[in-house]
Amino acid sequence: MPTILFPSPIFGPVNSRRLGVSLGVNLLPENGKICTFDCLYCECGFNTQNRSHSPLPTREEVYKGLEEQLKKMQDEGRGPDVITFAGNGEPTLHPNFAEIIDDTIALRDRYFPKAKVSVLSNSTMLGRKSVFEALKKVDNNILKLDTIDPSFISLIDRPNMAYKLNAIIERMKEFKGALVIQTMFLKGEVDNLQIDNTTDQYVLPWIETVKEIAPREVMIYTIDRETPHKGLKKATREELDSIVEKLHKAGLKATASY
């Protein structure tokens, strides 16, 4: 099964569908995945297939690696549009996530002050105060909310910790608009069940909740590469466009990646 594991702690720059020229920061080991979800669509594979016993990169290693890469890009005369925390799992699990965000903002200000700092998170660690406060400092606080249906989340995102959807939604509201909601739309067969979160049954209550959260923007997307679970299919361009239109009608800024 082809899966993608990223180098650690720094990878790229890569051209991101959604973010432009992106220099990646991976706070997880390079030889495995660590996440509080185990999404059926995860490009890094299932948690059990790519388990790592290597230590996480230290704050010092991240600082050194990031500064080296930014210096190199400065010498080459091409800067990143964005420094993106993503990689082999959930970045906010790193115990020094908050300090690393402070370091990154300082390095960004020194080398490429126009570059944005983005974090792609599955939202499960928002209850940790240091994570919440750190996410308030970044330019693009991109938080996953694939649906508000708990059974769909259990089936597709598969949390492996106590997952409190309502608490996460309340925490999202506390960002007071300084967040981007990111939602994966897909369909297919899982455990002999037909699943499809592009239907109104899922989309309409999700939009009502997103309205309450009042994010700066909503980014919707679908599967881009082979997924570890074989029964999944892409949402169509028409389905994504229709969801974007509903979001616009609800007064929300929204974009789709196909």
Q: Helix, strand, coil proportions of the chain in percent (round to 5)?
A: 35, 20, 45
| In the complex, minimum distance from the CB of residue 257 to ligand SF4, in angstroms, rounded to a whole number | 15
Per-residue contact flags (x/-) with ligand SF4 for residues 1 to 20, judged by CB under 6 A: --------------------
- Amino acid at position 131, single letter: V
Q: Residue 64 or residue 233: which is nearer to ligand SF4 going by CB?
A: 233
- Amino acid at position 41, single letter: Y
Per-residue contact flags (x/-) with ligand SF4 for residues 70 to 109, judged by CB under 6 A: -------------------xx-------------------
User: Considering only residues 44, 93, 143, 203, which one is a binding residue for ligand SF4 as defined by CB under 6 A?
Assistant: 44
Q: Binding of ligand SF4 at residue 35 (CB under 6 A)?
A: yes
| Cα separation values, 205 from 144, 151, 199, 218, 240, Å | 16, 14, 11, 15, 16
Q: Residue 114 or residue 225: which is nearer to ligand SF4 going by CB?
A: 225
User: Considering only residues 42, 115, 153, 223, which one is a binding residue for ligand SF4 as defined by CB under 6 A?
Assistant: 42
Binding residues among 182-241 for ligand SF4 as defined by CB under 6 A: none
| In the complex, minimum distance from the CB of residue 35 to ligand SF4, in angstroms, rounded to a whole number | 3
Residue 22 backbone phi and psi in degrees, to 5: -120, 125
SS3 at position 245? helix
Helices marked H in the chain: 59-76, 97-111, 129-137, 150-152, 165-173, 200-213, 237-249
Size of interface with ligand SF4, in residues (CB under 6 A)? 9
Cα dihedral value 93, 94, 98, 99, nearest 10: 180
- Contact positions vs ligand SF4 (CB under 6 A): 35, 37-39, 42, 44, 89-90, 122
